[in-house]
Amino acid sequence: MILDADSARPLYLQLYDGLRQMILSGAIPGGTRIPSSRVLSESLGVSRFTVVTALDQLVAEGYLNSARGSGTYVETVPRRDAGKSKAHPEGVAVSDRFEKLVSHRGQALTWRNSLTLNDGSQHLHMATPDHRLFPVHIWSQLTKEVFAEGDFRIVNYREILRPSLLEEQIARHIAVSRGIRCEPEEVVTTLGAHHAVNLLAELLLDPGDTVAFEEPGMAAIRSIFQSYGSRIEPMHVDASGPNPHTIDSRDVKLAFVTAAKQQPMTIAMPMKRKLEMLHWAADRDTLIIEDDLGSEFRYQGGPIPPLKALDQAGQVIYVGAFSMTLLQSLRVGYMIMPRALAEKCRRLIQVRYRALPQFTEQIVARLIEDGHYARHLHRMRRIYAKRQNRLLQILRSDFADVFEPPEFTAGFYNLCYYRDQSIDEDAVLIRCREHNLGVEQLSYYFANRKSPRKALLIGFAASNEDEIEFATKLLRHCVELR
């Protein structure tokens, strides 16, 4: 055995590694007596302390057995003949073996591939805010204030069955900003919108239950319901948004909708359709999960009240999050639901997930309470509106031969239909990924990954106006496949 005195790894660990591998491989058979520490130190040219430290570790882990007065011996380590292993039959790749071990739920949640993963792209990302606008100074100041008060209970799990300060502030904020009247006991904080949907699926669904889901709709959310063994009934989107009358089944446990800005079709559900949706749900005793994604960013006219604001019978569970307005990595979201369900949900969180860190809740609550959050939103809307206008100008001029004139009302992206419907949209997306562009294709949102019309979703929020001009030049290169 050769030990490297110049290696950054200590000599005793090198000796430990070498002996351990020889024992596991069978190079040193079980029952073999290990030479004394003096003999080993002389033969290896290291100190006895190095040898004793390595041997003591191997004894502690069970590779060696040391008996006072009789020496140190190698334990017999069970080994399996790799050629006869049932776990590795001849000709079967290790990856295939592990693929078979993945559960049905795991398969449903790990479907994404290189074309559908869109987390690292920098420019024109269709679902990312500009984190450079985050009020770092204010957040830092509030953080110092919270810890300076010396109430170290905030580092523990909070009493989940009582409303937190953040849940109280959300109840006040949502009444003003979205027209939803609720009590703090009806608000449940979560680790974001996806966590909220997971909670609801776990709380409400049994395998085989029917979930009405927008078609097209958010694929990641669809996969959550599928992972719980739900039967997905497509609720087709028309000019007024998801249409409940396209659902044949009367036995629908849950319905998932994006009413303020349908994802991905960007349609704001009109009043008539909202009332139809509520009546349809009441008639079937169906609960509606309303994800209010992107509702804070409407640039033309005033905010549109969500479906929950019209709910008189407790049919709607409202899901919101701060990921688009603060930082995605904060993982702070919330639900508004009937009090009886909220209590059940709190108990589920207590058993399965505990709760949000109290200090995070405290800081976000004070951000709202002190008016910083409202001012931050106002600033973001003003900046994003300018970026949206610049992107629209470029799309309508430099891409007039590529896309139909895009329309826009709210959110972070434009839906752009290709004029040439024979275009290889996968090839376009691959080139966009190579150029670090975070666009997505419309077909991603359909259950069968096929869209009746090919289109590209092009974002603007995370890029300033100079970056938009730079990125659209790259985009132009990506769509010119010839």
DSSP state, residue 379: H
Please state, in angstroms and rounded to a whole number, the distance separating the CA atoms of residues 175 and 185: 14
Model pTM?
0.82
Total H helices, total E strands in the chain: 15, 14
Report CA-CA distances (Å) from 424 to 125, 239, 482: 20, 27, 11
pLDDT tens, N- to C-terminus, the chain (482 residues): 888 888 989 999 999 999 999 999 889 999 999 999 999 999 999 999 999 999 999 999 999 998 777 889 999 877 765 445 555 555 556 567 777 778 888 877 776 766 666 666 678 988 889 999 999 999 999 999 888 887 766 667 677 778 889 999 999 999 998 999 999 999 999 988 999 999 999 999 999 999 999 999 999 999 999 999 999 999 999 999 999 999 988 899 999 999 888 999 989 999 999 999 999 999 999 999 999 887 888 887 777 889 999 998 999 999 999 988 988 888 899 999 999 999 999 999 888 877 677 888 889 999 999 999 999 999 999 999 999 999 999 999 999 999 998 877 678 899 999 999 999 999 999 999 889 999 999 999 999 999 999 999 999 999 999 999 999 999 999 998 65
CA distance linking residue 349 with residue 161, whole number of Å: 10
In contact, 463 and 130? CB cutoff 8 Å: yes
DSSP letter for each residue of 255-272: EEE--SS-TTT-PPPPHH
Residue 328: Cβ within 10 Å count: 16
The two structure tokens encoding residue 124: 């024109």
Q: E strands within 164-294? A: 187-190, 210-215, 231-238, 241-242, 254-257, 287-291
Give the tokens for residue 85: 């292993």
- Give the H or E element holding residue 64: strand 64-67
Tell me how far apart the alpha carbons of residues 97 and 280 are, in angstroms, rounded to a whole number: 46
User: Which secondary structure element, helix H or strand E, spans residue 323, and what is its range?
Assistant: none
